[in-house]
């Protein structure tokens, strides 16, 4: 297991992560990248704690996602399964589990301020934190994708499913975008990754 972990997370985090996996009897599955999520946690009918995490060469993103999912498991164990998935109990658990990892021996110095700020009040996904998301993207493989907030208003873009949209105005946190084919308006998270077609 440690050999597998070494492939996906920073070397100095392997022992701590391995201990969490053993302590909480986690069945970890590394899966092909999914567009809609980085990872998930499920308690099977047989009582097995299954965590899936997208395969990625970004070891820092993988580590954050894995601890995020372990935090679900630990929070449900401690507080019961009726708590909100990303409520106070989960946030507190995620903060506690992540704290030992937030140091320069595991993360690059330039990521630490973004992590420290994010974990004051962790979100349901690191993708909803614009600043942490951009900082983590520097460690992703090169691609031709842009974030919604980066492209000009009025430009057209394509989603992973082939649908084409035109970027509109920003509401409080999200952007109104019109699907070209149907004319329907959808709200997009600023950090949604899209393929820019025309500016």
Span 146-188, pLDDT tens digits: 888 889 999 999 998 899 999 999 998 889 999 999 999 999 9
Is residue 144 very low, low, confident or very high in pLDDT (cuts 50, 70, 90)?
A: confident
Residue 141's pLDDT is 80
Residue 121: other Cβ atoms inside 10 A:
9
Q: Are residues 42 and 124 in the same domain?
A: yes
Q: What is the C-alpha separation between 187 and 199, in angstroms, rounded? A: 19
Q: Are residues 130 and 155 in the same domain?
A: no
Q: Which of 137, 154, 171 is the last residue of a domain?
A: 137
Residue 193's pLDDT is 83
Q: Are residues 17 and 87 in the same domain?
A: yes
Q: Which of 90, 110, 137 is the last residue of a domain?
A: 137
Q: What is the C-alpha separation between 160 and 94, in angstroms, rounded? A: 30
The CATH number linked to 42 is: 3.30.2010
Q: Are residues 101 and 12 in the same domain?
A: yes
Q: Is 16 exposed, middle or buried (0-12, 13-18, 19+ CB in 10 A)?
A: middle
Q: Are residues 29 and 72 in the same domain?
A: yes
Task: Calculate the alpha carbon distances from 97 to 67, 92, 94, 176, 192 in Å.
Answer: 7, 9, 5, 36, 27
Ranges of H-type helices in the chain: 2-8, 14-23, 59-79, 88-98, 112-118, 130-137
Structure tokens at 20: 């969490």
Mean of the per-residue pLDDT values of the chain: 92
Residue 8's pLDDT is 96
Q: How many domains does the chain have?
A: 2
Q: Note the pTM of the prediction, 2 decimals.
A: 0.82
Q: Are residues 133 and 152 in the same domain?
A: no
Q: Are residues 68 and 120 in the same domain?
A: yes
Domain containing 127: what range? 2-137
Q: Are residues 35 and 60 in the same domain?
A: yes
Q: Which of 137, 159, 176 is the last residue of a domain?
A: 137
Query: Whose CA is closest to 21, among 46, 45, 41, 44?
Result: 41
- Are 165 and 159 in contact by the 8 Å Cβ rule? The answer is yes
Q: Are residues 43 and 98 in the same domain?
A: yes
Q: Could you give the 3-state DSSP secondary structure of residue 43?
A: strand
Is residue 25 very low, low, confident or very high in pLDDT (cuts 50, 70, 90)?
A: very high
Span 27-75, pLDDT tens digits: 999 998 776 788 999 988 898 999 999 999 999 999 999 999 999 999 9
Q: Could you give the 3-state DSSP secondary structure of residue 39?
A: strand
Residue 97's pLDDT is 97
Q: Is 70 exposed, middle or buried (0-12, 13-18, 19+ CB in 10 A)?
A: buried
Q: Are residues 15 and 97 in the same domain?
A: yes
Q: What is the C-alpha separation between 187 and 178, in angstroms, rounded? A: 9
Q: Are residues 47 and 109 in the same domain?
A: yes
The CATH number linked to 150 is: 2.30.30.30
């Amino acid at each position: 297991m440690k050999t597998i972990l070494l492939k996906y997370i920073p070397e100095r985090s392997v022992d701590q992560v391995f201990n969490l996996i053993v302590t909480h009897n986690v069945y970890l599955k590394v899966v092909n990248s999914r567009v809609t999520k980085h990872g998930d946690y499920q308690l099977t009918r047989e009582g097995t704690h299954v965590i899936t995490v997208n395969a990625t060469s970004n070891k820092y993103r993988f580590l954050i996602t894995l601890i995020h999912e372990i935090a679900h498991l630990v929070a449900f164990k401690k507080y019961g399964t009726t708590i909100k998935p990303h409520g106070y109990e989960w946030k507190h658990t995620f903060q506690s589990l992540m704290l030992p990892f937030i140091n320069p021996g595991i993360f690059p110095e330039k990521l630490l301020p973004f992590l420290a700020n994010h974990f004051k009040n962790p979100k349901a996904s690191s993708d909803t934190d614009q600043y942490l998301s951009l900082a983590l993207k520097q460690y992703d493989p090169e691609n031709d994708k842009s974030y919604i907030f980066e492209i000009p208003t009025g430009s057209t873009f394509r989603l992973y499913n082939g649908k084409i949209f035109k970027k509109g105005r920003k509401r409080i946190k999200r952007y109104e975008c019109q699907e070209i084919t149907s004319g329907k308006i959808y709200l997009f998270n600023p950090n949604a990754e899209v393929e820019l077609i025309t500016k």
